[in-house]
Amino acid sequence: MASRILGTIVPMDPHIMLETLKRRTGFNEAHMRVLAGLGHYMTPLASEVALAFYDYLGRDPEMRDILWASPGRVERLYGSFATWYRELFSGVYDAAYAHRRYRIGLIHARIGITPGHMVPAMGIVQEISLEHMRTALRTGEIFPAVEAFEKIIAIEIALIDESYLAALEVGFKLGTSSSRDALVEGANVLLKEARV
């Protein structure tokens, strides 16, 4: 049944969405160079930011139950998050990058992490990162760094949110009645069938 349902849905192409988001936000080669240049300042923070991100999420009882539902999940998430954070400063924002972001959203959806959990937690990422930029960079470097960082974070959130929407659409087409169940079931189908 899932294959038949997927046949009626044209899944979002993450690379096309990435290019659309770059255009919408004005994210360009100069921003990519700035982010790549920030790598040596920012990537050492990856573990600290991951710890703060999951500490924030873990304060919510619902998220705590999700995060600690299976042994080793939090540890895996820390590692995945640190990789994600380092990739923000890679300077490479291509089709493979877009597909990894789309997959992140589907994995979040599959385990029950909703945009209502993820988006506020991204504020922690921004807070720690922007504070570090303010202290580590010279005055003339701060504005271009903040501008590039804010653009890539907006793109990140939008790509991940688009994967949530795709999962919901599939879940509802499967006949799932609650949005939470539709999100989880749709993500399962997309991860299996689309091999994203």
| Residue 71 falls inside a structural domain | yes
| Residue 118 falls inside a structural domain | yes
The CA-CA-CA angle for residues 36, 83, 72, to 5°, reads: 170
| Residue 11 falls inside a structural domain | no
How many distinct structural domains can be found in the chain? Answer: 1
| Structure confidence at residue 7 (pLDDT) | 59
HSE at residue 103, side-chain half, CA atoms within 13 A, is 14
**Residue range(s) defining the domain that contains residue 177:** 2-6+17-193
pTM of the entire predicted model: 0.91
Cα–Cα distance list, 82 to 72, 100, 104, 111, 189 (Å): 16, 14, 13, 19, 27
pLDDT tens digits, residue range 112-125? Answer: 998 999 999 999 99
Task: CATH number of the domain at 86, please.
Answer: 1.10.490.10
